[in-house]
Amino acid sequence: MIIIQHSMKNSKRKKGGSTKMNYLAPSILAADFCELGKEIEIVEKAGVPYLHIDIMDGMFVPSISFGMPVFACVRKYSNLFMDVHMMVEKPERYVEELIELGADGVTIHIEACDCVEETLEKIKELGAKPGIAINPNTPVSEIIPYMELVDMVLVMTVQPGFGGQSFIVECLDKIREVRRIIDKSYPDVKLEIDGGVRLDNLEMNLEAGANVIVTGSAIFKGDIETNVKEFLKRM
């Protein structure tokens, strides 16, 4: 499987001389499903490194998005890093099949999993990058015991389950808190945000410490190529 290499033009120089790479991850939840393959091809050619896949079960969140058959088709259309976000109850039931189908990263919600440590370890053992997600109302302290097991922390900046919501500004404090923890003890862990991110709030999220930016409507509504290029230019 080909993994796209990320250029240094999408990085930010931090104080002290270290570099924090920034990544754009368009969420196909906002894509036109009648044109899904075509739109994935557009974002890949425009230079994004990740593709964000939201899997919802109608239980952990009210909505149902798509499951294994759709993901299997998406994988065939692209060599991008498949960033799978599991908004499902008991995600441990599905991680093996997802990884077999080509998930490069699998993020589970701490609020939805009864065996967090075992599931994260299983994801890693199966060859994918484990991630842990927290909802806006979940304290950061809940994920600290698992930080050494993950490749990425996902901070939800809307209530999960529906696309097109407005960014919750109060989540900036949570992003900053997670960034401080990462910088102090887990420098290789990425900090992803998901929900309501647009060009007009991108900068404050980057400044707060996010470095994997999930956005759906801001990419797939309108001219997709132009939207991607504008995001990448500002990252």
Q: Can you tell me the distance from the alpha carbon of 74 to that of 51, in angstroms, rounded to the nearest whole number? A: 10
Catalytic residue among 151, 194, 200, 223: 194
**Which pair of tokens denotes residue 27?**
């969420």
Q: 144 with 97: CB under 8 angstroms?
A: no
Residue 188, Cβ neighbours under 10 Å: how many?
A: 8
Total residues found in the chain within this entry = 235
Catalytic residue among 32, 54, 57, 200: 54
Q: Can you tell me the distance from the alpha carbon of 13 to that of 22, in angstroms, rounded to the nearest whole number? A: 11
194 is catalytic: yes
Catalytic residues: 54, 194
